[in-house]
Amino acid sequence: MSFLRVAAAAALALPVVPPSSTAPPRPRLVVLIAVDQLRGDYFKRFEPQLSGGFARFWRDAAFFEQGRQDHAVTETAPGHSTMLSGRWPAHTGIFNNLFGVTDPTTPLLELKDSGQGASPRNFRGTTLYDWLRASDSASRVLSVSRKDRGAILPVGRSRGDVYWFDHGIFTTSTWYRTEDTLPGWVREFNAADPVRKLAGSTWSLLLPDSAYTEVDSVPFEAGGGPITFPHQLSPNVDAAVLQIVAFPVMDSLTLALALRGVERLRLGQGRATDLLVVSLSTTDAVGHAWGPDSRELHDQVLRADRLLGRFMDSLATLVPREATIWALTSDHGITSMPELASSKGVRAGRVWPTDALNELAQAVGDNQSFGFEDGLLFANVTRLRSRGVNLDSLATAMAAKVKALPGVSQVYTPKTLRSASGSDTGAVLWRRTIPDDIGWLLCATLESGFVWSPGRVIAEHGSTSLNDQWVPIAFMGPGFVSHHFTEPVSTTDIAPTLAKVLSVKPSEKLDGHALTEALAGGGR
């Protein structure tokens, strides 16, 4: 059974009817589509084969081709925290995935025995949804993703309808609901048991084989797993629950739940402007497993394009197109697999300071006082000081060891980062990433083509490289021009741009600014 047939039947089943031609006096709904790991060059690369939602953004939107997640740790949590806050990770407090949304004090509904929990407790400040609520308390929000951090962080600390996929169902945490059960419409969606229905189904190429230029037999793809089409979900449901995150149909289920929620919650039908956030995560899983240069990634982008187009048509049956504002972006890009780059004669490689970290553990007497992720060596500096450790000396010694690793470009300690020039691009990116009250010993940047990788043979992101920062930023709907822009802009510019169109005021100082060139009449 093909994914398209199953997805069409199980997910995007609402009929498509012509939208109303009566223009409303104000936007009823703002929709943010965040596609995890959608690198900014994919639109131009796949343009001839796009015919759905991506094609509409590329053709009709105010499209910024050089969008940036312009901070150092280009991961899912920091990236999503910037989108509707208008602020860099140093100011949202979400500086990497580890310090993102994990929160055992807020267990998951109907999955409390899993021992997992999630909340925006670590998030600082406000987002567009807070500004909408301040303008009109009747504004509502629905945020849906396969990932908890993808659903939670664009909304910030506000409570609302926020759902993500875990253990085969869509759920939320006690941060958002005091009841022990999910809302009826979410339980109804889960009761259909979509993963069980999809178990054993096949992911085949959307287009004829000749439409794909990528080689379909690269041996180091998928970490030793299946590397050629077709790909099949296990007929075992438990196994399928784990595998489905890297299959295109996961995006279909996410969009289906979002559409169901808009219908049942009647978003866009009240007096105030409502917010819908949909974060699609399959491209990230596919990109990690098979890499950005793979046939799998190519097909996934085409499928996401078609699914998004159907979703947009179906949403228009609930909220008129002329009453809907759209924004599109991503949380980060991706770097090519170093093994593939090296096979083409390009200098590339994987970097991880294993020896330096082992020496550090021996020097301080434990490995619980520090951690390393994507170039940042963070530490419990209070604990280290209590043991008599000279932090400046330790940081300097560790920096020298990391700087000696092949592929490392620059290394900064807290002291050298403070004194670095404003023209030092790496230093600027790290200053935008690390909150002032976070303890750390060093941060580092890599040469182009190198990735932070603890040994996994998968594609990686998380560095300061352009490919990891590069994301699309686009706006579409009433109040926006249809034009392509080539100057670099930041994801922190999304929220202030939407705020200007909606005539709402941010609650605090922002790092981004309104992209008035995207606004009809220059935003006057």
CATH (domain of 172) = 3.40.720.10
Q: Which one, of 4, 58, 34, 13, lies nearest residue 314 by Cα?
A: 13
Q: How far apart are CA 237 and CA 256, in angstroms?
A: 20
- DSSP 8-state code for residue 380: -
Q: How far apart are CA 138 and CA 151, in angstroms?
A: 21
Tens digit of each residue's pLDDT (9 = 90 or more) over 368-417: 889 999 999 999 999 999 989 999 999 999 999 999 999 999 999 999 99
Distances from the Cα of 499 to the Cα of 54, 77, 510, angstroms: 23, 22, 12
pLDDT at 364: 87
Do 252 and 118 sit in the same domain of this protein? yes
- 20: number of Cβ within 10 Å: 14
Do 56 and 151 sit in the same domain of this protein? yes
Residue 42 lies in a domain: yes
Do 57 and 144 sit in the same domain of this protein? yes
Ramachandran class of 374: left when φ > 0, alpha when ψ lies in -120 to 50, beta otherwise: left
Domain boundary among 420, 448, 476: 448
Q: Which one, of 58, 31, 53, 24, lies nearest residue 43 by Cα?
A: 58
pLDDT at 358: 94
Q: Token pair for residue 110?
A: 């109907």
pLDDT at 38: 98
Strand 62-68 relative to strand 483-485: parallel, antiparallel, unpaired? parallel
Residue 216 lies in a domain: no
Do 377 and 330 sit in the same domain of this protein? no
Do 506 and 411 sit in the same domain of this protein? no
Q: How far apart are CA 385 and CA 368, in angstroms?
A: 14
Indicate the burial class of 128 (C-beta count within 10 angstroms; 0-12, 13-18, 19 or more).
buried
* pTM, full prediction: 0.94
Where in 140-216 does DSSP place strands (E)?
141-145, 161-166, 169-171, 202-203
Do 137 and 261 sit in the same domain of this protein? yes
pLDDT at 184: 97
pLDDT at 17: 43
Residue labelled with tokens 């963070």 = 378
Mean predicted confidence (pLDDT) in 28-42: 98
Residue 3 has pLDDT above 60, yes or no: no
Q: How far apart are CA 140 and CA 270, in angstroms?
A: 9
Do 75 and 175 sit in the same domain of this protein? yes
Question: What are 67's strand-pairing partners?
Answer: 471, 489
Mean predicted confidence (pLDDT) in 448-472: 95
Residue 344 lies in a domain: no
Do 273 and 363 sit in the same domain of this protein? no
Mean predicted confidence (pLDDT) in 113-137: 95
Residue 314 has pLDDT above 60, yes or no: yes
Residue 156 lies in a domain: yes
- Find out whether 170 and 186 touch, Cβ atoms under 8 Å: yes
Residue 235 lies in a domain: no
Residue 225 has pLDDT above 50, yes or no: yes
Distances from the Cα of 474 to the Cα of 30, 281, 305, 486, angstroms: 13, 18, 15, 12
Q: Domain holding 416: CATH number?
A: 3.30.1360.150
Q: How far apart are CA 30 and CA 502, in angstroms?
A: 9
Q: Token pair for residue 455?
A: 């040994």
Q: How far apart are CA 268 and CA 76, in angstroms?
A: 28
pLDDT at 524: 58
Do 357 and 435 sit in the same domain of this protein? yes
Do 285 and 393 sit in the same domain of this protein? no
Q: How far apart are CA 202 and CA 193, in angstroms?
A: 18
Q: Which one, of 211, 299, 292, lies nearest residue 248 by Cα?
A: 299
pLDDT at 402: 98
Task: Determine if the peptide bond prior to 506 is cis (ω within 30°).
Answer: no
Domain that holds residue 102: 29-183+245-339+465-523
Residue, of 414 and 215, whose pLDDT is higher: 414
pLDDT-based confidence at residue 367 (cuts at 50, 70, 90):
confident
Residue 523 has pLDDT above 80, yes or no: no
Share of the chain above pLDDT 70, in %: 95
pLDDT-based confidence at residue 25 (cuts at 50, 70, 90):
low
pLDDT at 10: 47
Do 389 and 475 sit in the same domain of this protein? no
Mean predicted confidence (pLDDT) in 480-488: 98
pLDDT at 8: 43
Residue 11 has pLDDT above 70, yes or no: no
Residue 22 has pLDDT above 60, yes or no: no
Q: Token pair for residue 120?
A: 């925006």
pLDDT at 15: 43
Tens digit of each residue's pLDDT (9 = 90 or more) over 194-211: 999 999 999 999 999 999
Domain count along the chain: 2
Tens digit of each residue's pLDDT (9 = 90 or more) over 489-504: 999 999 999 999 999 9
pLDDT-based confidence at residue 519 (cuts at 50, 70, 90):
very high
pLDDT-based confidence at residue 218 (cuts at 50, 70, 90):
confident
Residue 192 lies in a domain: no
Q: Which long-range contacts (CB under 8 A, 24 or more apart) does 360-365 make?
A: 360/394, 360/398, 363/394, 364/389, 364/394
Q: Token pair for residue 454?
A: 């603890």
What is the average pLDDT score of the chain? 93
Tens digit of each residue's pLDDT (9 = 90 or more) over 71-124: 999 999 999 999 999 999 999 999 999 999 999 999 999 987 788 999 999 999
What DSSP assignment string belongs to 428-481?
HHHHTTS-TT--EEEEEEE-TTEEE-SS--S----SSSHHHHEEEEEEESTTB-
Residue 445 has pLDDT above 80, yes or no: yes
- Find out whether 506 and 496 touch, Cβ atoms under 8 Å: yes
pLDDT-based confidence at residue 474 (cuts at 50, 70, 90):
very high
Residue 456 lies in a domain: no
- Find out whether 259 and 14 touch, Cβ atoms under 8 Å: yes
Tens digit of each residue's pLDDT (9 = 90 or more) over 321-358: 999 999 999 999 999 999 999 999 999 999 999 999 99
Domain boundary among 448, 477, 493: 448
Domain boundary among 398, 416, 448: 448
Do 296 and 443 sit in the same domain of this protein? no
Residue, of 126 and 20, whose pLDDT is higher: 126
Q: How far apart are CA 319 and CA 392, in angstroms?
A: 58
Return the H-helix or E-strand segment holding 243. helix 237-243
Share of the chain above pLDDT 90, in %: 87
